[in-house]
Amino acid sequence: MIEDFNKNLSSSKDSLDVEDAYLVIGQGDIGLEVTNSLAKSQKKVTGLARGDRQCYDLQHGSEFLQADALKLSADQVKTFTHIAIIVTPDNYDAPNYKNTYLGIAQHFAKLEPQLPHLKQVVFISSTGVYGQDNGEWIDETVTPKLPEREASQYILQAEQVLQHAFSARAVIIRPSGIYGKKRLMRVRKAKEVDKEPMPNCSWTNRIMDSDLVNIIAQVLTSPQSDKLKPVYLATDYQPVTSLELSTWLAAQLNSSTPIAHNDDHTMTGKRLHSNIPRDWLQFPDWKSGYQYILQSI
């Protein structure tokens, strides 16, 4: 892995004199915010999506390219120095993950010889690529065990394709469970009066959506790209069981307390060691994040 990460470093240095230009592939909730964040910071950025521009609230002078990432030509992207791939499938079955994540990775791997100015490819993956599911502690040095979920297998394969093609220029960001003001599934569940019984010890990991946007922007705009890590675990510093999180939320909302499976103490899930710098996170733990959300809803 170290050898792969250092491969092609010289080609990255050769393009340092080119003006930085950013392409953000995917203008969903996260991709759009990354595009607008870069534009607000006076970066030359283009957001790419298949829909019409009017479908996306692009701000601060950012450009827009309507295109299918699977059909991009080298001529369309050869002027970009930084490319972020922040995509979601049309629906959540395995074939769509294969087409979207793996398909785009393979397409860009083929284009690589024709992209002389490219300094960096940032791929937004998922901590779902870790097949470990018995409460293990996971850090950036841990090799993912093959996940059972076929869709996650395709995301892991996409990582590997990009790492092989772009070596040191590829940075993988693996977000954990994303939450935010518009991502309130846990809050809605905590409000339910008749709650389903929950496992005693099922570990989960959280990242606020605004923190994830900042992490991606920080990686893309780092003035010392050679010091970036090949893989970032985009998660806060405090794993929590679903039961503890739901119990705390229910108390804050004056809702009924979740019921645990008293006879089931099997440990599931995983506990992630974040390697995100502290100053990249506004919310270093789930409690501070949900307190912020509850104050605003």
Give 110-121 pLDDT, tens digit per residue. Answer: 999 999 999 999
Q: Is the pLDDT of residue 52 over 80?
A: yes
What is the pairing mode between strands 201-204 and 240-241?
antiparallel
Q: Is the pLDDT of residue 149 over 70?
A: yes
What distance in Å separates the CA atoms of residue 240 and residue 242, rounded to the nearest whole number? 6
Q: Quote the percentage of the chain above a pLDDT of 70.
A: 94
The amino acid present at 156, given as its one-letter code, is L
Q: Is the pLDDT of residue 156 over 90?
A: yes
Superfamily of domain 2-179+207-235 in the CATH hierarchy: NAD(P)-binding Rossmann-like Domain (3.40.50.720)
Q: Is the pLDDT of residue 263 over 90?
A: no
In this prediction, residue 17 carries a pLDDT of: 66
What distance in Å separates the CA atoms of residue 178 and residue 176, rounded to the nearest whole number? 6
In this prediction, residue 6 carries a pLDDT of: 47
For the chain, give the mean pLDDT. 93
In this prediction, residue 7 carries a pLDDT of: 45
Where does residue 65 fall: left (phi above 0), alpha (psi -120 to 50 degrees), or beta otherwise? Answer: beta
Q: For the full predicted model, state whether its pTM sits above 0.85.
A: yes
In this prediction, residue 264 carries a pLDDT of: 72
Choice between 264 and 117, residue whose per-residue pLDDT is larger: 117
Q: Is the pLDDT of residue 238 over 60?
A: yes
Residue (of 95, 93, 163) closest to 125 by Cα position: 163
The label of the residue with tokens 């409460």 reads 135
In this prediction, residue 261 carries a pLDDT of: 83
Q: What angle do CA 52, 58, 62 make, to 5 degrees?
A: 105
pLDDT band at 297 (very low <50, low <70, confident <90, very high): confident
pLDDT tens string 27-50: 999 999 999 999 999 999 999 999
pLDDT mean over 112-132: 97
Q: What is the CB neighbour count within 10 angstroms for residue 91? A: 8
pLDDT tens string 180-208: 999 999 999 999 998 989 999 999 999 99
Q: Is the pLDDT of residue 265 over 80?
A: no
Q: Up-side HSE of residue 89: CA atoms within 13 Å toward CB?
A: 18
